[in-house]
Chain A
């Protein structure tokens, strides 16, 4: 069975601080992993993806994520938060024909 768990439904950071959004997964096959961002009243936008190449993946808007097989994790980070990063973030895992999404983490950025 495959699953995605996002730790923390809400994360709050100050502008300029490190952003860390946590994602753990379970998969019986080598996974493809993704992070998506959803701004209010919009669809999801792909931030980055891991497809078994480099374990450190760089995405758009300064985000990156590191695949750690031993920890079954794929945490999303950004060195310095910007107000425009406030959004809902989804971790996703693909196996077979299906992609399953985590429950989402709402990121708040304080001025």
Chain B
């Protein structure tokens, strides 16, 4: 039973389209995250939700909008996709916020390719 599951695993789309990535965790964790990994493997946090409340909102274009309907789900909607959005997007979860020294459980990633 997958702990943190993301769908879809691969997403190829044209510039200007709008797409969504879904994430669900069955670990009972109260904090969820979106990270972006670029082609050089660099990981950058985008958003974090704790019990459905947004607690981290990094310098991300407004075209990216996260939504957390409940603490087990965190979705990412991207409007007007650009070539530079091509990356692997990882969802992660933890019990407690990052400040508690807990580690993260990551999903397997969504590889987004914008053409």
> Which B residues are closer than 8 A to A by beta carbons?
4, 40-43, 45, 48, 55-56, 90, 92, 97-99, 101, 103-109
Contact = CB atoms under 8 A, between A and B. Distances in A.
Contacts of B107: 43
B99 A43 contact: no
A50 to B, nearest CB: 9
Given A43-B92, A43-B107, A94-B98, 20 more contacts: A36-B103, A36-B104, A36-B106, A43-B90, A43-B106, A43-B108, A43-B109, A44-B106, A45-B106, A46-B104, A46-B105, A94-B101, A97-B48, A97-B56, A97-B98, A98-B45, A103-B40, A103-B42, A104-B41, A104-B42
Interface in A9-68: 32, 34, 36, 38, 41-46, 49, 51-52
Contacts of B42: 101, 103-104
Contacts, number: 60
B31 to A, nearest CB: 9
